[in-house]
Every structure is written in C-alpha cells, then in structure tokens.
Amino acid sequence: MKVHYAIKYATNFLSEIEDKDYAKWETLIILSYLLNTSPLQVYLYLDKEIPDNQFFKILSERKTGKPLPYILKEAYFWGRKFYIEEGVLIPRQDTETLISVFFDLKIEEGKILELGTGSGAISITLLLEKPGLKVFGVEKSVKAIEVSLINARKYNVIERFFLIKGDWLDPIYPEPVFKAIVSNPPYISAKEWEKLEKDVRNFEPPDALIAGEKGTEYQEIMIKEADKFLCKKGFLIFEIGYNQSQKIRELLEVYKWRYKFYKDLRNYERVVVAWKENT
C-alpha cells in the first residue's frame, strides 16, 4: 500500500475510536514508524510502499484500545523517541510543560533529583539539554528502571544518570545537595481512576497514576519534606492534576513555600515551582 492511501485509510479507521485530529496524528506516527522517519517527514514519502501486513496488524491492535506507544514500543517526548513497554507510564505532552519551566530557571549544572522516573523521559531530556547536570532518579518499579536504563544508554547519558530503587524520598538521605527536585507524581484519586478512559485503565500501570483516596498524597509528601533535600536557592518542580491547584496552594502556604503556577497547552494550571525564602 502506498503512503498517500494509507494516510486516508488509517485516519478514517482510527476516527472510529478517537477524535479525528488525534487519529490523523496517530496515523503519522504509525507511518513514520514503518518508514523509519519522523512524523512530519511522512509527507515526503507519499508514493512509497509500506508493508501491508504490519500496517494492518498495528491498526487491529490499536482498535482494541491498546495505546499506540505500547504497540510500537516507542513514545515521543520533547521531540525525541523513547523506548516504552507495557507496565511503564507513557510520557505525556502535558509533562513537556515541566521541562519548559525547568529551563526557564536557568539551572545549568549540579545535582537534580527526580521522584518517579518512569521511562526516564524527563531525566534524560534534562541531561541531554543541560550537559552540566547529574540526575538522581528514584523509582520503585523494576520494569521502569529497566526501561529507563535502555533509554539512558540509547542517548549516552548513563554516566550522569543514577537510578535508585525505592519509594519516593525514602531512599534519599536528607542533605541539602540538590539544585532542584522534579516530579510528575501519581495525582489521580481512586475515584477519578474509575472514570478514566478505558485505554488508560486497561493498559497503563495504576501505581504510576493513582496517588490514593485524595489524589494529592505524593505532592503532600514533597511539600512537607523537600526543603530538607534542596540546597540554597533550590527549587521544587512538580506536575499537578487539572483540578488540584487550590488544594496545592493551600498546602504550599501552610508549609511556607513561595510558589508560581504554570499553565499547560490546554490552559490548565499544570506545573508548580516552589522555593523557600530563607534558603
């Protein structure tokens, strides 16, 4: 099948299970995978043939609800491809807001702590863009650690990326040595989980998404404890749910943080930067 026909076919096919614009984007991702190019380069190959069997197999799997990154075993983040597999959270575009915010802080060197590294997309992006950084990542999932290591080796940052198996801040000695703590923590409540799309509930790891009954449990730990780990003028940078900004503001006030909220592309307050006046 030629690419120009595959674009029309797959877009129509996928539009039955998702928004047409997103179906078009996933079509480009599928074809870029088959052509070994980038999604935006697909239009340069409109007359090229693609393998029919592989093309239809991918579409059939996608129609079951299985997320495309798990089918292709790759996901895009900050313009790069990261290896991914089932059992590890798929990097989201919303989380790129956290990267943008980090860069605005002009942290060029030093030690960074990431809590909940998942696929390693955040840490590895920071390491690639800022050669003076070293990142220490805490992750409790063995599978996620394995995937992070694959990605770190792929992008040649393994010598500056130190993975620690453990739960949140538990394995880190409380010394003020980090320029920043970054995290995309679990922030969905148990009740919200039941209302999520089937694609998420049926395939993605609950432990990477569900925080607890409230949804803010992991953020509360960071707000209460993070200043023990941050050096002078250090920053706490983390993602929040679309409906959590008021609760997080209240917690930050209680624990005497200065803070700023940043909106994502959908205009939700999505990322918090917090710091202490006396540090």
Listing DSSP states for 23-69 in one string gives HHHHHHHHHHHHHTS-GGGGGGGTT-B--HHHHHHHHHHHHTT--HH
Does pLDDT of 82 surpass 60? yes
* SS3 label, residue 239: strand
- Would the pTM of this model clear 0.85, i.e. be above it? yes
Does pLDDT of 41 surpass 60? yes
Q: What is the pLDDT of residues 178-235, one digit of tens each?
A: 999 999 999 999 999 999 988 899 999 999 999 999 999 999 999 999 999 999 999 9
Does pLDDT of 277 surpass 90? no
- First vs last C-alpha separation in the chain: 62
* SS3 label, residue 255: coil
* SS3 label, residue 166: coil
Q: What is the pLDDT of residues 95-111, one digit of tens each?
A: 999 999 999 999 999 99
β-pairing, 269-275 vs 258-263, is antiparallel
Binned at pLDDT 50, 70 and 90, residue 236 comes out as very high
Look up tokens 């990605």; give the residue: 151
Does pLDDT of 279 surpass 70? no
CB-based contact 98:114 (threshold 8 Å): no
- Alpha-carbon distance of 173 to 251, in angstroms, equals 24
CB-based contact 109:132 (threshold 8 Å): yes
CB burial class (10 A; 0-12, 13-18, 19+) of residue 279?
A: exposed
Binned at pLDDT 50, 70 and 90, residue 30 comes out as very high
